[in-house]
Amino acid sequence: MAVTRHEAVTTREAEAAHEAVTTHEGGNAHPGGTAAGAATVLDAERVREDFPILARTVHGRPLVYLDSAASAQCPRAVIRAVEDYQMRSHANVHRGVHLLSQEATAAYEGARDRVRRFLNARSTREILFVRGTTEAINLVAQSYARPRLGPGDEILITALEHHANIVPWQMVREQTGCSLAVAPIDLRGELDLEAFRARLTPRTRLVAVAHVSNALGTILPVAEILSAAHARGIPVLIDGAQAVSHRGIDVRALDCDFYAFSGHKLYGPTGIGVLYGRESLLAEMPPWQGGGDMILTVSFERTTYNELPWKFEAGTPNMSGAIGLAAAIDYLEALGLDAVAAHEQRLLEEATAELRRIPGLTIIGTAAHKASLISFTLEGIHPHDLGTILDSEGIAVRTGHHCAMPVMEFFGVPATARASFACYNTREDVRRLASAVRKAREVFR
């Protein structure tokens, strides 16, 4: 049975991933670490072996991949799970009586349950597969906000949002006449929580905030945001695109209303993402796209819609993507989210200290609580030129506005270079980054 083979593959890879983690009593305890002073330590060299792409060279140099905040690389477990599905079980889901279709359906719906467990959601009815964070937010905009909002109503976001959490609300503003309020950030890139609270008014109908800023690394105080909004009965959407790979997400403990993320930032495939939605809200929302799979009956006079979650999944879904995403979650959980987070925080601290020593380098985003990414500028060098020089050294960083133009405007820079760290990065990667940045500085002097 192919479904069983999937399990066999992911279990074998997960066991290998386990071996990459050792537990040291009395080590540097991470806030999210294991109990009784034991800290889990990730063997990043061992982890790297699970990611075939990391073995390649770029411009004749060993690849240093520091762009995981844009798209993380896939471990072999994910590549194999997708390949195995495509080689053995691929068929359209939900409508077939034949064995392959049943296997594909079982694997696809099994992936949904894997995501449910990952998020600790109550029910798979609350887990919608979408293309990614962008589609998830657009779904909420069109299906939750658009039918409910009108002139006088307000959607509240923050000043550090990705365009994916700005533009869909502007479209709703155009469609309904509602307005968009923006809670400010300070010069460290932290949300001004008092100002945020002050912007919650009787007119606020929805709050939509990032969990982690992709441009600055700031971890937002989502618990405080949720409790302030919920005290006024306002639902909250959290854009978790940059958070899911760095911290365990428990949607029940958070008590959020919507949570969105993308598979490709979680070591999974592209073209797959998740919208978690509180069942009571999803049940009241109309479908946003029509077509096959989202219906129960269709006649020219009247169509009845399918149950949750399929009501929101019109058309043939991304089966292999969902299966790959489930394998990515297996892999990450086997490494241990706490061990990964502690490892990434160590790299963040080291990289911050190293880069700070470079004259003319400014770190943009210095919040007290940051995920493992650093945005920076180097005096006299445009970030794109810097990125090109780093690339010639085999180092992949992102340069540009990071789909957060208002953040760039706030800090008065056209763009930044951004290095982001994942489970497979090492101190050697940090060292090579710092030395290549120094070299770039010499070139442009």
Judged by the rule CB under 6 A, the positions of this chain that interact with ligand PMP are 132-134, 162, 164-165, 210, 214, 239, 241-242, 262, 403
Which is nearer to ligand PMP, 42 or 208 (by Cβ)? 208
When the beta carbons of 271 and 394 are compared against ligand PMP, the nearer one is: 271
Q: How far is the CB of 412 from ligand PMP (least distance, A)?
A: 21
Pairing of strands 39-42, 373-378: unpaired
Catalytic residue set: 403
By C-beta, is 13 or 312 nearer to ligand PMP? Answer: 312
By three-state DSSP, how is residue 13 classified? Answer: helix
Radius of gyration of the chain, Cα coordinates, nearest whole angstrom: 22
Measured from the CB atom, the residue of 41 and 423 that comes closer to ligand PMP is 423
Q: Which of 87, 215, 201, 101 is nearest to 160 (CA)?
A: 215
Look-up: residue for tokens 């999210």?
A: 32
Our measurement of the distance from residue 314's CA atom to the centroid of its chain's CA atoms, rounded to an integer in Å, reads: 23
CA distance 419 to 378: 13
Q: What is the pairing mode between strands 273-277 and 258-262?
A: antiparallel
Longest Cα–Cα distance of the chain, Å, equals: 72
Q: What is the closest distance, in whole angstroms, from the C-beta atom of residue 201 to ligand PMP in the complex?
A: 25
Q: CA-CA-CA-CA torsion for 396, 401, 407, 411, nearest 10 degrees? A: 80
User: Which residue number, 262 or 318, has a Cβ lying nearer to ligand PMP?
Assistant: 262
Min dist. Cβ of residue 403 to ligand PMP (A): 6
Closer CB to ligand PMP, residue 165 or residue 306? 165
**Burial of residue 127 (number of CB atoms within 10 Å: 0-12, 13-18, 19+):** buried
In whole angstroms, how close is the CB of 246 to ligand PMP at the nearest point? 12
Q: How far apart are CA 217 and CA 188, in angstroms?
A: 11
Least separation in angstroms between residue 78's CB and ligand PMP is: 16
Give least dist CB 381 to ligand PMP, A. Answer: 24
Return the exposure string of 316-331: e unless at least 16 CB atoms fall within 10 Å of the residue's CB, then b. Answer: ebbbbbbbbbbbbbbb
Contacts of 43 (CB under 8 A, 6+ apart): 20, 21, 22
Among 220, 216, 218, residue whose Cα is nearest residue 376: 216
Minimum distance of ligand PMP from residue 301's CB (angstroms): 37
306 or 420, CB closer to ligand PMP?
420
- Residue 68's CB is within 10 A of a number of other CB atoms, namely 25
Helix (H) or strand (E) holding 315: none
